[in-house]
Amino acid sequence: MKKLIAGNWKMNASLAGNEALVQGLLAGVGTPACDVAVCVPSPYLAQLQTLLAGQQAIALGAQNVSAHESGAYTGDVSAAMLKEFGVRYAIVGHSERRQHQAESDTLVAIKAERALQAGITPIVCVGETLQQREAGLTDTIVKQQLSAVIHLVGHCISEIVVAYEPVWAIGTGKTATPEEAQHVHSVLRAQLQAATEHADRIRILYGGSMNAANAAQLLAQPDIDGGLIGGASLKAADFLAIVAAAQ
């Protein structure tokens, strides 16, 4: 299966900075053997749509989507709006939103469904905190998080992307070992297999301090089908090195 390397810029962007970063990415990306995407803050979607026009190598992604279709939801951005700006992927349920915006498993599932309805691929994030890992709850937590999405979207589950992001590995420089990550990915794969006969084509990305130095080993694991990259997606050379490691 084609791997997917997606950058999550988080709340790091500016008009000038985006232009320089995208120019660097386009100059070096060539014709990648994997899918590549950048998930940018909403105000820059129009700029990115223009910067990425006329090429196929890099797709556009959003970092969130409203659980509502339209109406009186001040500050929300709907899936239909994202679609108008050429968005292909939308991250849903990132741990930073689960933590700071109190997003529940159910809300995340609704967001995934909204994205799918608009023809956008949701990148559904799951992952345990350090406390949960130390309590031996990793498998239980990630399965619970994914289960809400499986139940809501039904047979459309084969259209999603999953991202396993251990919370303790995000932005900390601590990466899950390839074996630790592979274990959780295999648990998620088994859960997907129980839900759909197409589980083998669902991409399960790893995220959490993935960088140019550790990407190849992580991506060599049988159930790691790509990466969701935070810090290392903000420098063209670092992100391109991860894209290269995925081929």
Supply the residues annotated as catalytic. 94, 165
User: Is position 205 an interface residue for ligand 13P (rule: CB under 6 A)?
Assistant: no
Half-sphere exposure of 154 (CA within 13 A, CB side): 1
Length of the chain: 247
DSSP letter assigned to residue 76: -
Query: Does 170 participate in binding ligand 13P (rule CB under 6 A)?
Result: yes
Site size toward ligand 13P (CB under 6 A) is 14
Query: Quick one: which segment of 29-37, 129-137, 182-190, 202-210 binds ligand 13P (CB under 6 A)?
Result: 202-210
Residue 165 in contact with ligand 13P, rule: CB under 6 A: yes
Nearest CA to 205 among 28, 12, 2, 63? Answer: 2
Task: Report in angstroms how near the CB of residue 233 gets to ligand 13P at its nearest.
Answer: 7
Residue nearest ligand 13P, Cβ-based: 230
Stretch that binds ligand 13P, among 25-33, 54-62, 76-84, 225-233 (CB under 6 A): 225-233
Instruction: Report how far apart, in Å, the C-alpha atoms of 99 and of each of 65, 151, 155, 230, 232 are.
Output: 16, 22, 29, 17, 22
* Alpha helix stretches (DSSP H) within 101-245: 105-117, 130-134, 138-153, 178-195, 215-219, 236-245
- Angle (CA) 20-26-30 rounded to 5° is 155
**8 forms part of the interface with ligand 13P (CB under 6 A):** yes
Residue 188 binds to ligand 13P (criterion: CB under 6 A): no
Amino acid at the residue 152: L
State phi, psi for 173 to the nearest 5 degrees: 80, -5
Residue of 229, 244, 245, 246 interacting with ligand 13P (CB under 6 A): 229
Instruction: Name which position in 34, 204, 210, 224 contacts ligand 13P (CB under 6 A).
Output: 210
**Smallest distance, ligand 13P to C-beta of residue 234, A:** 9
CB nearer to ligand 13P: pick between 182 and 195:
182
Interface positions with ligand 13P (CB under 6 A): 8, 94, 165, 170-171, 207-210, 228-232
